[in-house]
Structure 1
Amino acid sequence: MFDTMTFTKILGGFAGAFLVFLLGKFVAEEVYAARVGGHDGEVVQGYLIDTGAGDEDSGAEESGPSFDEVYASADAGKGERVFNKCKACHKLEKGDNSTGPYLYGVVDREVDTAEGFGYSGALEQVVDIWTPEHLDGFLKNPQGYAPGTAMSFAGLSKVEDRANVIAYLATFGG
């Protein structure tokens, strides 16, 4: 059935395929990475796209009304539509946790106090109480506001959307 020559051919085929994959990996590393300081230097990204994140002008505040001004005239009805993005992970019924904690009474509630939910602990290091201002900062960029948080949502970029959804959440509990 299997003689020595057949076994040698199969083993040689696997070894040859492995060498082709290693060669492909080597070529890809050379094409997509630039080496600094010679052959043994640090590997850095070969194709860098300038986003302007390091520019001095990027620190300027965005123009437009402040969160407090927008929140004063926020529409809870519009916030209900924005909350549809949150429904995948959060529920509004007290004690009904999902992927994320329940949001019943979240406005002006202490952080990490949803009963029965296991928090990562990252939020406690940033804030004590979920005031509308703290919720605004967190909803704008959860990972940037509380590094290490388990919330993987990218955030709401529009201040109006954040104010409306916070106004909607304020109608639950208290």
Structure 2
Amino acid sequence: MLKKVSFTKLLGSASGALLVFVLVDRAGGLYFSNPGLDQPAYVVIEEEPATPAEPEPELTFEERMAQADAAAGKRVFNQCKSCHRVEEGANAVGPSLYGVVGRPVHSAEGFSYSDAFAGLEGSWTAERINAFITSPRDVVPGTAMTFAGLKDPQDRANVIAYLESVVE
């Protein structure tokens, strides 16, 4: 048969076990103590705050065009290939860009331009192409062109240099 355990015996056993744990913890703390270091383990070097570098002056469009690389522009033009071709008369979703630099706006033979382009006058100068491929919808509101634009100004200059080179 089971004996009844009194509350006093249970409390005494728990207190004894707790006392043993505390004594073992204290003894371990004495044995495994941190002796401290004579010198810091690592040295913190305090430096003077760096003066911010002057931002590089923004290049003008003409300076970017002078540095433009047609081979790099051909690589960037891969983003345009889904809608445009650079072969003469080869229209796709967008008009052929063969000889686009300097030609009149909405003049690609055999291509049906949107109403947004019908109202435009003038020619595709390098500067106008630069503005257009920065953000087509801002330059020609209502354009059917869904391309968001090229944000890097040097990429734009490179693409224009590539477009100039395909007719030479």
| TM-score, normalized by the shorter chain, greater than 0.5 | yes
Does structure 1 residue 93 correspond to structure 2 residue 48? no
Percent of counterpart pairs with the same letter? 51
Aligned to 2:151: 157
Aligned to 2:70: 76
Number of equivalences:
112
Does structure 1 residue 143 correspond to structure 2 residue 133? no
Which structure is higher in strand share? Answer: 1
Distance 1:161 1:126 in 2: 25
Aligned to 1:173: 167
Q: Which has the larger radius of gyration?
A: 2
Does structure 1 residue 129 correspond to structure 2 residue 132? no
- Deviations 1:72-127, CA, capped at 9 Å, x for gaps: 11000100000000000001111111000001000001110101100013235344
TM-score, reference length from structure 1:
0.61
Aligned Cα root-mean-square deviation (Å): 1.4
Does structure 1 residue 114 correspond to structure 2 residue 108? yes
Distance 1:67 1:125 in 2: 26
Contact 2:105 2:120 in 1 (8 A): no
Deviation of 1:148 after TM superposition, in Å, equals: 1.1
Structure 1: give runs of 5+ residues left out of the alignment. Answer: 1-62
Structure 2: give runs of 5+ residues left out of the alignment. Answer: 1-56
My pick for the range that moved more, 63-72 or 132-141, is: 63-72
Distance 1:167 1:90 in 2: 16
Opposite residue 159 of structure 1, the aligned amino acid is P
